[in-house]
Amino acid sequence: MLTLPASRVAAVQTAPVFLDPAATADKACALIAEAARNGARLVAFPEVFIAGYPYWNWILSPIEGSPWFERLYRSAIDLDGPEVQRLCETAREHDCVVVIGVNERDPVAIGTIYNTNLVISSGGELLCRHRKLVPTWAEKLTWTGGDGSTLKVHQTKVGPLGTLACGENTNTLARFALLAQGELVHVANYISLPVGPKDYNMAEAIRIRSAAHAFEGKLFTVVSCSTISAEMVDALTETRPDARELLSRTQSAFSGVIGPDGAVIGDPLIDEEGIVYADIDLNRCIQPKQMHDILGHYNRFDIFNLTVNTASRSSATFVDVPGAGFGASVTFVDDRGDAGSARDPDRQSADGAAAGQSRTTGGRHDEH
């Protein structure tokens, strides 16, 4: 008989050690140990917890914020670096699944940063990195978007788990792509955002989005949000004197756990630092599907179709052409739409002369 996992989960609401990846990794490991002592088998951390969010994009001009971008880039981490190794060791030591946001440096392109969520198994294996698909609003000054290769659900000790970062939890298609892979535990991580429009309640917006996904998918959503520390405010005040006022609005952070009925389990954390715990039982995801199963009887896939491109994106594709010979490096299309390769000039002239060819390349008529 089928029995689904039941687990205690933990959502952390706290601030990183600003732009200090080593110290923030140490803080994360201490919080994993604390949560594990309290019985947690999953520990969720905020968006880009290692080691900070680019708040300067919201309160400074792009030119004023440019030095901060360089500082963030230098503090971003490599996936094979010591911070990730430490996190994996701690997850294994405490038998916990860990989801944590990081600023990830591109391994090749200098200056390229991704907003990345890491999923680490209870055995200490890095299961995946999910790169935020679309940076939100002012974030486009900092991060490059990810691709569909990281939009995946992973089998973990607490159940089939997927994750999205902050605003992409509003992306209906991204959420459905995870549901279609059997997601039953969703980790949604956020940053505290006191610098949005005056009528924007970030805490309520987080709750609404998280409840929507939980209710639509009949699953559990674990929400982890950051806070803004005095250290961060003091640092930004050096460039923007009124930063303290701009970064102090309340109702800017929400962390908690939401069940398949869309209701918050227990008491969430709003603005305050701490860890939220909840006991989740995935068997509770079964009965609600009888009413609304958007992956089955409550959908029409003869009408609707979602295609997800899971190919890894790269900035260039390099192709070897077998047998092309020396100098075969440029593909051209002549006036008739016929494709060929530009080859060694001497060979091209000789071949053209022998065949008596005439071709047009780039609007120029060449006689051979």
User: CA–CA separation, 100 vs 16, rounded Å?
Assistant: 12
Mean pLDDT of the chain: 91
**Residues 167 and 83 reside in one and the same domain:** yes
**Residues 180 and 263 reside in one and the same domain:** yes
**Residues 95 and 231 reside in one and the same domain:** yes
Catalytic pick from 47, 83, 104, 168?
Answer: 47
pLDDT of residue 358: 40
**Residues 120 and 46 reside in one and the same domain:** yes
- 132 belongs to a structural domain: yes
- 323 belongs to a structural domain: no
**Residues 13 and 67 reside in one and the same domain:** yes
**Alpha-carbon distances of 54 from 62, 78, 104, 240, 265, rounded to whole Å:** 11, 18, 14, 14, 31
Which is higher by pLDDT, 40 or 365? 40
**Residues 196 and 337 reside in one and the same domain:** no
- 354 belongs to a structural domain: yes
Which of 214-218, 237-241, 342-346 has the least mean pLDDT? 342-346
Catalytic pick from 27, 132, 152, 218?
Answer: 132
**Residues 259 and 340 reside in one and the same domain:** no
Q: Which two tokens stand for residue 135?
A: 């940076």
What residues pair up with 270 in beta bridges, in sequence order? 254
Looking at the chain, the number of H-run helices and the number of E-run strands are: 9, 16
Q: Do residues 34 and 275 lie in contact, with contact meaning Cβ atoms separated by under 8 Å? A: yes
- 237 belongs to a structural domain: yes
**Residues 33 and 85 reside in one and the same domain:** yes
Residue 159 clears pLDDT 70, i.e. is over it = yes
Residue 179 clears pLDDT 50, i.e. is over it = yes
Tell me the DSSP string of 80-138. Answer: TSHHHHHHHHHHHHHT-EEEEEEEEE-SSSTT-EEEEEEEE-TTS-EEEEEE-SS--GG
Percent of the chain with pLDDT over 70: 88
**Residues 110 and 220 reside in one and the same domain:** yes
pLDDT of residue 344: 42
DSSP reduced 3-state for 232: helix
pLDDT of residue 353: 42
**Residues 353 and 264 reside in one and the same domain:** no
- 33 belongs to a structural domain: yes
Where a domain ends, among 239, 264, 290? Answer: 290
Known catalytic membership, residue 218: no
Percent of the chain with pLDDT over 90: 85
pLDDT of residue 235: 97
Closest among 92, 88, 94, 233 to 102, alpha carbons compared: 88
Catalytic pick from 96, 128, 166, 225?
Answer: 166
As for how many domains the chain has, the answer is 2
Which is higher by pLDDT, 280 or 350? 280
Cβ count near 10 (within 10 Å): 27
Q: Average pLDDT, stretch 190-207?
A: 95
Q: In which band, very low, low, confident or very high, does the pLDDT at 357 lie, cut at 50, 70 and 90? A: very low
**Residues 344 and 199 reside in one and the same domain:** no
What residues pair up with 342 in beta bridges, in sequence order? 330
User: CA–CA separation, 309 vs 329, rounded Å?
Assistant: 29
Q: Which residue in the block uniquely carries the two structure tokens 């192709």?
A: 319
CATH code of the domain containing 64: 3.60.110.10
User: CA–CA separation, 111 vs 76, rounded Å?
Assistant: 10
- 207 belongs to a structural domain: yes
pLDDT of residue 325: 57
**Residues 38 and 136 reside in one and the same domain:** yes
Q: Which two tokens stand for residue 93?
A: 């030591």
pLDDT in tens, 315-350: 999 998 887 655 544 544 555 545 444 444 444 444
CA 138 to chain centre: 16
**Alpha-carbon distances of 272 from 163, 192, 275, rounded to whole Å:** 23, 11, 10
Residue 300 clears pLDDT 70, i.e. is over it = yes
Known catalytic membership, residue 89: no
**Alpha-carbon distances of 33 from 97, 156, 308, rounded to whole Å:** 12, 19, 37
Q: Do residues 108 and 314 lie in contact, with contact meaning Cβ atoms separated by under 8 Å? A: no
- 127 belongs to a structural domain: yes
First to last CA, the chain: 79
Q: Do residues 296 and 321 lie in contact, with contact meaning Cβ atoms separated by under 8 Å? A: no
Residue 67 clears pLDDT 60, i.e. is over it = yes
Cβ count near 95 (within 10 Å): 14
**347 is in which domain, residue-wise?**
330-367
Residue 152 clears pLDDT 50, i.e. is over it = yes
pLDDT of residue 196: 86
pLDDT in tens, 262-278: 999 999 999 999 999 99
Q: Which two tokens stand for residue 322?
A: 């077998």
DSSP H or E segment with residue 283? none
Where a domain ends, among 232, 260, 290? Answer: 290
Residues whose CB is less than 8 angstroms from the CB of residue 239 and which lie 6 or more positions away in sequence, other chains included: 56, 60, 64, 68
Where a domain ends, among 271, 290, 309? Answer: 290
Which is higher by pLDDT, 77 or 348? 77
What torsion, rounded to 10 degrees, do the Cα atoms 280, 282, 287, 292 define?
100
- 295 belongs to a structural domain: no
Known catalytic membership, residue 132: yes
pLDDT in tens, 109-126: 999 999 999 999 999 999
